[in-house]
Amino acid sequence: MSVAGTAGRAPTADGGGPWVLGVRHHGPGSARAVRAALEARRPAAVLIEGPPEADALVELAADDGMSPPVALLAHVTDDPGRSAFWPFAGFSPEWVAIRWALEHGVPARFIDLPAAHTLARKPDEPDGLDESDERDAGAGAGLRVDPLAALAEAAGYDDPERWWEDAVEHRGAGPAAADPLAPFDALGDAMTALREEYGDGGHQRDPGPVSPVSAGPRRHARTLAAPGTSPSTSSTRACTRHAESTHLTPQAVPQRPARQDLVREAYMRLQVRAARREFDDRIAVVCGAWHVPALTAKSTVAADRALLKGLPKAKVDLTWVPWTHRRLARAGGYGAGIDSPGWYAHLFGSPDRPLERWMTKVAGLLRDEDQPVSSAHVIEAVRLADTLAAMRGRPLPGLSETTDAVRAVMCEGSDIPLALVRDRLIVGDVLGEVPASAPAVPLQRDLTRLQRTLRLKPEALEREVDLDLRKETDAARSRLLHRLRLLGIDWGEPARSARSTTGTFRESWRLRWEPELAVRIAEAGIWGTTVDAAATAKAEADAVGATALADVTALAERCLLAELPDALPVVMKVLADRAALDTDVGQLAQALPALVRSLRYGDVRGTGTHALAEVAAGLAERVFVGLPPACAALDADGAAELRGHVDAVHTAVGLLGETTTAEGGGTGGTGGTGTGLRGRWHAVLGVLSGRDTVPGVIRGRAVRLLLDDGELADDAAARLMGLALSPGTPPADAAAWIEGFVGGGSGGGMLLVHDGRLLGLVDAWLSGVSAEAFTDVLPLLRRTFSAYEPGVRRTLGELVRRGPEAPGVRPEAAALPGFAPELDQERADAVLPVLRLLLGSVPGADVANLADVMDADVMDADAVEGNGVVEVAG
C-alpha cells in the first residue's frame, strides 16, 4: 500500500515507497494485485515475509527445474525433527513477488524473524497445544479473534472465506484506470481498525507461510494415484503430531501470539528500515495483511532492538522441497489455510471467463471417468451457478455456487462424482519440483547421523549381520532397518538366521548399499525430516491406501517391528474399518493370527499394544458371528481351507485370551473379556460340531478342539463320534469327520491309542462300510492315518489286532479323555529336573506337589507334541 495514502501513519512523502502490500497468503486475488502493484511502482527491492536465511536460496526460484508448489524447509542442523515449512504455490503473492524480483533483476529478501530463533526453542518446552487448537490454527480460523471473520461479519457474511473471496479475490483485474495500490490501502485501513479493536495480540487468522509439516510431496504421486484414497488424513495426523513435538513459528502457536507477533514485527520493521536506507525508500514489502499496520506504525529502533534481545538461537539449514496442492489444502494438514488450491490456481491462471472454463474442466474430468456429460450440461451448470450467485447476492459465482451447480446438473445430485471433482480439481494433484542443485534433504543427514551412532556403515559389499535384540544397539539397528524398509529403502533384507535359533530375540539381515538408494532417500524426504517421522508418515499413508485386509495386518506387524507407536493408531483404525466391512470370513480368519502374533511380539518388545488387542478382539467377534454361516454348503477344497482357518482362529483365540487376561491384570473386566472370548469361541465350536450342513471335516475338527480344551463332557466326544459315524451318514462324510477329528499332525493318533472307546468306534465303523464305499473313502483314510508317526501307527495296528477293549477294563480314574489312565511315574520323574530349571528353583516347594501340578502338562508335552505347550514353555 502506498503508505502515503493512509495519513498519519505515512513515514514518507507521496509517490515514494515503501509500499507495504498486505496480502492473504495463497490468495490468487492478492497475487494478481501484488503483480499489478509491482509493475506500476517498479521498486528497487522486494521484501517478503519469510526466513532471512533463505536469501541465499532465492536465486533457485528462477531455476528451470523449479516449479511451484514448493516450500522452503528450515530445520535445526543437528535435530532435523525440529523443522518448519514455508509453502509457496504459483498463485501465492509471495511467489509472484519473488519471481517478479528475479525477472527484473531486483533483490528479493526475506524479512521475517530468522528461523534460527523460531526453531531454537526446545521441543520439551510446554506449549499447552491441544489438538483442536492446532487444527483451527492450521485451518486458518482462529479460536479467539479471527480478524477476517470480524470483517466478514461486518459485511454481513457468515463465512470469512467467502467474504474474502467476494471482497478481494473476485475483484478480478478490475478497471485498469484504478490505482493498483487501492485495494491494499483499503485492506490496510481495515486491519488497522481491527488491531485497534482487538489488540495486536488477538490475531489468529494470519495463516502465515509457515506450516510445520512432517512430510513433503513428491512420492505422494503414487498414493494419489490410488482412487478413493486420501493421504490427507494421515498427513493431517502426522502434521498435528509433528506440530506438538516441533516448535512452530508464531502463527501456529496460539498461546503466545502477542509476544511472538510483536517480536516478529519488530524484526521486520528493522529490516524494512535498513532496506529503506539502502534503496532510498523504493522498496515493496509483501507480508500478511495483519502485519501491515505494525510495519507502518512509528516505533523507535531502540524499542525494536530491545524486543529482539536475548532470543535463543540455533544453527539451522534451509532448502527447497517440492510441495503439493494437497498439502496446501486444509485437508492436507497445516497447509496454508486454503481448502481449494486447485480452484485458486484456476482463478489465477485462467485469462478470462473463469466459470465457463472451470465447468468445461469439470465436464472433461467426468467424461474421462465415463460419466455422460455433454456440452448442454456445461451450459446448464453455468446458468445455474450464475442464477444461484444472483439469488445469494454475490458478485460472481464462487466455489460453493459452482459446486452446487455441478452437483445438481452434472452429478445427478450425487456426492460421489462430486468427491472426484473435489479431489482432482478443487484440491488438485499438482506436484512441485525443485532443481537438483537444492541442498540435501534433512532425511539424508538424519540417516547419516544414525549410521554413525549405530556403527552401521553403508557398504556396497553384501554382508550378513546377526542382531541380538536384547542388546540396545542391535535393537536400534533392527529398528532402523525396518523403518528404512517401510520407506522403500531396501538397504537391508531380512535373512534366515545362520544360527537358526527360533528365539524371537534374534534377527538376521543381509546388508548391501547400492548407489540408487541415495535417490530413494531423496524421494522419501517428502515423508519427513527424520527416519522415524518419515517412516511413521509413510506407514500411515500406506495403511490408508491399502486395499486388502491382509496388507493392513502385515503393515501393523511391520509397524511393531519398526517400533512406530505413533503410526499404530492410524493403522489400527484402518484395520478395524477394513475388518468391519470385509464380508469374507476367510480373510478375517487369516488376518486374526497375524494380528495376535504381532500382539504377542509387541509384548516381547514392550510396545503398548492395547489398541491392537482391542482390534484383535473385535476381529475375533466378527469371525465368530460369520463362521457358522460361512461353513455351510462347501465343497471338499473349501472345507479343507476353512478347517485350516478354524485351527488358526482357535490358536489365536487361545493366545488372545491369555494376552488380554495378562494385560488386564487386576481389573476383572479385561480378564473377563479374555475368558469370555474363549467361552464364545467354544460356543461357536459347539454350533459347528452339531450342525448337519457343516462339512464333516470341520465338524470333526470342532469336536476335537472342544475335546482338547476339556469343554466336552466325559463321553460326549464318543457320542458325537457315534452320531457322525452312524450308518445313516454317507461314508465319505464320515471319513471326512474322522479326518477332521484325528487327522493331520495334531496328535490325533495318540488320542486313538489312549481312548479305546474312540478307536473302537472308528474300528466298528470301518468294518461296517460297504465294499463299494470303502474304495471311495480309502484315499481319505489313508491320508488321515499315514500322517501319524510310525510308532503310533504300529501301536494302533497292535490295538486293533488285539480287538476291541472290554468296557470294564477302562479304569474310572482317567483324568482327561484321550490320555492314559495312569501317570507313567518313571517318565514323569525324568522330566521334572528340566521343568524345575525352566521355572526357576522353587525353594521349599514340595516336589510331590509340583509333580501333581505338572501332571497334566507333562502328559500334554509328552503326548501332544508341538501342540503349543512346549513352545510356550520354551
> Strand, helix or coil at 84?
strand
CA distance 523 to 520: 5
- Is 669 among the residues that bind another protein (CB under 8 A)? no
Contacts of 502 (CB under 8 A, 6+ apart): 874
User: According to CB under 8 A, which one of 580, 683, 713, 830 is a site residue for another protein?
Assistant: 580
Q: Which of 30, 35, 188 is nearest to 98 (CA)?
A: 35
For another protein, the binding residues in 537-576 under the rule CB under 8 A are 576
User: According to CB under 8 A, which one of 193, 274, 625, 723 is a site residue for another protein?
Assistant: 625
* Residue 408 C-beta: closest distance to another protein, Å: 4
* Residue 557 C-beta: closest distance to another protein, Å: 22
Which part of the chain contacts another protein (CB under 8 A), choosing from 88-96, 360-368, 370-378, 456-464? 370-378
User: According to CB under 8 A, which one of 308, 408, 831, 870 is a site residue for another protein?
Assistant: 408
> Strand, helix or coil at 813?
coil
* Residue 163 C-beta: closest distance to another protein, Å: 17
Which part of the chain contacts another protein (CB under 8 A), choosing from 287-295, 373-381, 540-548, 598-606? 373-381
Whichever of 580 and 853 has its CB closer to another protein, that residue is 580
Q: How many CA atoms lie within 13 A of 826 on its CB side?
A: 0
Cα–Cα distances in angstroms (integers) from residue 501 to residues 136, 463, 598, 630, in the given order: 53, 19, 19, 39
The residues with which 286 forms a beta bridge, in sequence order, are 21, 48
Contacts of 354 (CB under 8 A, 6+ apart): 346, 347
**C-alpha cell read off for 101:** 524480483
- Is 583 among the residues that bind another protein (CB under 8 A)? yes
* Residue 579 C-beta: closest distance to another protein, Å: 8
CA distance 870 to 872: 5
User: According to CB under 8 A, which one of 172, 349, 629, 727 is a site residue for another protein?
Assistant: 629
Whichever of 383 and 794 has its CB closer to another protein, that residue is 383
Which part of the chain contacts another protein (CB under 8 A), choosing from 56-64, 404-412, 510-518, 765-773? 404-412
- Is 372 among the residues that bind another protein (CB under 8 A)? yes
Whichever of 38 and 568 has its CB closer to another protein, that residue is 568
- Is 391 among the residues that bind another protein (CB under 8 A)? yes
* Residue 143 C-beta: closest distance to another protein, Å: 22
- Is 409 among the residues that bind another protein (CB under 8 A)? yes
Q: Which of 171, 173, 176, 191 is nearest to 394 (CA)?
A: 171
CA distance 556 to 561: 9
- Is 383 among the residues that bind another protein (CB under 8 A)? yes
Rounded CA Rg of the chain: 36
Pairing relation of β-strands 108-110 and 45-48?
parallel
Contacts of 187 (CB under 8 A, 6+ apart): 1, 22, 168, 289, 292
* Residue 830 C-beta: closest distance to another protein, Å: 47
Do 688 and 643 form a contact (C-beta atoms < 8 A)?
Answer: no
Backbone angles phi, psi at 840, to 5 degrees: 80, 155
* Residue 351 C-beta: closest distance to another protein, Å: 27
User: According to CB under 8 A, which one of 577, 798, 852, 865 is a site residue for another protein?
Assistant: 577
* Residue 230 C-beta: closest distance to another protein, Å: 16
Do 119 and 76 form a contact (C-beta atoms < 8 A)?
Answer: yes
For another protein, the binding residues in 516-535 under the rule CB under 8 A are none
* Residue 709 C-beta: closest distance to another protein, Å: 21
Whether the link from the prior residue into 69 is cis, omega within 30° of 0, is: yes
Classify residue 733 as exposed, middle or buried by CB count within 10 Å of its CB (0-12, 13-18, 19+): middle
Whichever of 388 and 427 has its CB closer to another protein, that residue is 388
Whichever of 392 and 810 has its CB closer to another protein, that residue is 392
For another protein, the binding residues in 791-830 under the rule CB under 8 A are none
* Residue 209 C-beta: closest distance to another protein, Å: 32
- Is 377 among the residues that bind another protein (CB under 8 A)? yes
- Is 581 among the residues that bind another protein (CB under 8 A)? yes
Whichever of 71 and 684 has its CB closer to another protein, that residue is 684
* Residue 664 C-beta: closest distance to another protein, Å: 15
- Is 356 among the residues that bind another protein (CB under 8 A)? no
User: According to CB under 8 A, which one of 123, 435, 586, 618 is a site residue for another protein?
Assistant: 618
* Residue 578 C-beta: closest distance to another protein, Å: 8
DSSP letter string, 91-110: T-HHHHHHHHHHHTT--EEE
CA distance 605 to 475: 10
**DSSP state, 332?**
G
Chain position carrying cell 513477488: 97
Whichever of 391 and 813 has its CB closer to another protein, that residue is 391
User: According to CB under 8 A, which one of 414, 448, 501, 693 is a site residue for another protein?
Assistant: 414
Whichever of 96 and 575 has its CB closer to another protein, that residue is 575
- Is 395 among the residues that bind another protein (CB under 8 A)? no
User: According to CB under 8 A, which one of 131, 278, 280, 412 is a site residue for another protein?
Assistant: 412
* Residue 672 C-beta: closest distance to another protein, Å: 12
Backbone angles phi, psi at 373, to 5 degrees: -125, 120
Q: Which helix (H) or strand (E) holds 763?
A: helix 756-768
- Is 400 among the residues that bind another protein (CB under 8 A)? yes
- Is 282 among the residues that bind another protein (CB under 8 A)? no
User: According to CB under 8 A, which one of 122, 259, 313, 392 is a site residue for another protein?
Assistant: 392
Whichever of 408 and 476 has its CB closer to another protein, that residue is 408
- Is 404 among the residues that bind another protein (CB under 8 A)? yes
**DSSP state, 409?**
I
Whichever of 690 and 797 has its CB closer to another protein, that residue is 690
Classify residue 628 as exposed, middle or buried by CB count within 10 Å of its CB (0-12, 13-18, 19+): middle
Cα–Cα distances in angstroms (integers) from residue 468 to residues 458, 479, 528, in the given order: 20, 12, 29
* Residue 367 C-beta: closest distance to another protein, Å: 14
User: According to CB under 8 A, which one of 197, 226, 364, 374 is a site residue for another protein?
Assistant: 374
* Residue 690 C-beta: closest distance to another protein, Å: 15
Whether the link from the prior residue into 18 is cis, omega within 30° of 0, is: yes
Sketch the per residue contact string, 707 through 736, with another protein: x for CB under 8 A, - otherwise: ------------------------------
* Residue 355 C-beta: closest distance to another protein, Å: 15
- Is 384 among the residues that bind another protein (CB under 8 A)? yes
- In SS3 terms, 549-610 reads as HHHHHHHHHHHHHCCCCCCHHHHHHHHHHHHHHCCCHHHHHHHHHHHHHHHHHHHHHCCCCH
Chain position carrying cell 488450491: 341
Q: In terms of DSSP H, where are the helices of 67-210?
A: 93-103, 115-118, 131-139, 147-154, 160-167, 182-198
CA distance 805 to 756: 6
User: According to CB under 8 A, which one of 184, 267, 343, 624 is a site residue for another protein?
Assistant: 624
**C-alpha cell read off for 171:** 475483484
Whichever of 41 and 422 has its CB closer to another protein, that residue is 422
CA distance 693 to 659: 34
Q: Which helix (H) or strand (E) holds 718?
A: helix 716-724
- Is 501 among the residues that bind another protein (CB under 8 A)? no
User: According to CB under 8 A, which one of 244, 429, 603, 621 is a site residue for another protein?
Assistant: 621
Classify residue 843 as exposed, middle or buried by CB count within 10 Å of its CB (0-12, 13-18, 19+): exposed
For another protein, the binding residues (CB under 8 A) are 372, 374, 376-377, 380, 383-384, 387-388, 391-392, 400, 404-405, 407-409, 411-415, 576-577, 580-581, 583, 618, 621-622, 624-626, 629
